[in-house]
Amino acid sequence: MFWWESDIDSCHDELMGVINELNDNHYERMQANLDFLRVYSQRKYDLQDFRHGVVKTASYALDKRDDMRMRMNVTQSMIDTITSKIGKNRPRPMYLTEGGDYSLKTKAKMMGRMMEGLFMQTRLYDLMPKIFQDSCIFDIGVLKIYSEDNKIQIERIFANEILWDMDDALYGEPQSLYQVKKVHKSYLLDRFSGFSTQINNISIGKQDETPDSDLCEVVEGWHLPTSEDSDDGRHVICIEGATLLDEEYGRSQYPFLVLKWSDSIVGFGGISLAEQLYPVQREINALCIRIQQSMHFLVSQWCFFRQGLRLHHLTSETNLEQSFITMDNLLWFTPLQQFILKSLPIWTDSIRGHMRSVGFQSYLQQERNLQDWNQVLPCVFIMT
């Protein structure tokens, strides 16, 4: 039995089972959205924390493993640029008459002013640039439009809160749509005062899973009518163990404005700008890191000596800031670099003249009794 065909007593159980299955099916999509968000913001996000309603790992610092690596965030630059150019537009609907008299034209003009005032009241012009930015980062940008206390309300929805059946949405028009969101307990108690016991029990039950026990997972589901004459459309709001709202839904559209940067060939989700730039961004990061490493190795000289040699003569005569690493400690280097360093004594005979020409002459005069040239290694540059 489908959840929209079940009675009110078992509807929440059926719907929660569907949500658990959809969470598993949307795992890769949710993780990809967080990866694109990480590329844009350079902050680390964890999917489990989002599911628990607490964003703990959204640190305000870069990833500690590579926070000193040079980057050129082309993704953020392009998204911010196109958002600033398109987001500054303020479109509004206009009501026009066709062959109407003065009275009808006046009504149309007043209706246009009313819509402009409604946009101002709901702060739509402030919210739409963020929705457009979401569509550039995530697969969808979602704006929810609903009625509460006889007033029109709008709300920005995080893309990972929206779920749908992948098979049902193969052609981009799912028959059912779901929103899973963490809502504060006080809001639920104020709006659904008749379910205070169930709401408080949910909070206590989730206390071990989430320290913020005041947040409850609320599932809202919509099922569109099969046809204009059918009455199987349904709108349900439920929590674990209770159905808070159950009503018939007769509209042919969901209460969401879904914005996509680019439509996908199959499926309901779109293709974001961050996803299109992801291969380019990875290649740019790799090139920047290689340039940074090359510059670090080239701007400083590295001299390698065997442990036990007197190094103060070399530093005092050449007056250079050298970096000394003993041959007994090669743990810092890659296997290829270790092979190069261990092979250097074999090459010293062929570069003896070069050693005399770069400031080693005075050091060699003071070490006349040193006959084993394999104990002295020249200055080498390592390119990785």
The DSSP code sequence of 252-271 is SS-SEEEE-SB--SSSS--B
* The predicted structure's pLDDT at residue 163: 95
Residues 54 and 94 in one domain: yes
Using CA atoms, how far apart are residues 278 and 40, in angstroms rounded to an integer?
Answer: 10
**Structural domain count, the chain:** 2
Residues 219 and 339 in one domain: no
Domain membership flag for residue 295: no
* The predicted structure's pLDDT at residue 92: 84
* The predicted structure's pLDDT at residue 54: 52
Give the best-scoring range by mean pLDDT among 225-239, 298-312, 348-362. 225-239
Confidence of residue 58 (pLDDT cuts 50, 70, 90): low
CA nearest neighbour of 7 among 229, 226, 238, 224: 238
Domain membership flag for residue 276: yes
For residue 64, with 0-12 CB atoms within 10 Å meaning exposed, 13-18 middle and 19 or more buried, which class applies?
Answer: exposed
* pLDDT over 90 at 292, yes or no: no
* pLDDT over 90 at 44, yes or no: no
* pLDDT over 50 at 371, yes or no: no
* The predicted structure's pLDDT at residue 263: 92
* The predicted structure's pLDDT at residue 304: 55
Residues 213 and 272 in one domain: yes
Residues 209 and 351 in one domain: no
Using CA atoms, how far apart are residues 323 and 303, in angstroms rounded to an integer?
Answer: 6
Confidence of residue 51 (pLDDT cuts 50, 70, 90): low
Domain that residue 239 falls in: 3-280
Residues 318 and 269 in one domain: no
Who contacts 48 (Cβ-Cβ below 8 Å, separation ≥6)?
none
Q: Indicate the range of 250-259, 260-269, 304-313, 326-335 predicted with least confidence.
A: 326-335
Domain membership flag for residue 288: no
Domain membership flag for residue 290: no
Residues 245 and 317 in one domain: no
**Which amino acid is present at 170?**
L
Q: Which residue has the higher pLDDT, 266 or 334?
A: 266
* pLDDT over 80 at 6, yes or no: yes
Kind and range of the H or E run holding 161: none
Domain membership flag for residue 176: yes
What is the percent of the chain where pLDDT is above 70?
68
Residues 131 and 160 in one domain: yes
Residues 272 and 307 in one domain: no
Give the best-scoring range by mean pLDDT among 136-140, 188-192, 316-320. 136-140
CA torsion, points 50, 53, 59, 63, in degrees to nearest 10?
A: -20
CB neighbours (10 Å) of residue 375? Answer: 15
The pair of three-digit structure tokens given for residue 232, joined into one six-digit string: 């199987």
Helix ranges, the chain (H): 11-25, 27-41, 47-52, 74-87, 102-121, 124-137, 185-191, 196-205, 273-298, 312-318, 335-347, 352-355, 361-366
Domain membership flag for residue 287: no
Residues 166 and 217 in one domain: yes
> Of the candidates 251, 280, 309, which is a domain's last residue?
280
> Of the candidates 227, 247, 280, which is a domain's last residue?
280
Residues 264 and 342 in one domain: no
Summarize pLDDT for 88-126 with one digit per residue, the tens: 888 888 888 888 888 999 999 999 899 989 999 899 999
Task: Determine phi and psi for 253, rounding to 5 degrees.
Answer: -135, 155
* pLDDT over 80 at 62, yes or no: no
Residues 343 and 229 in one domain: no
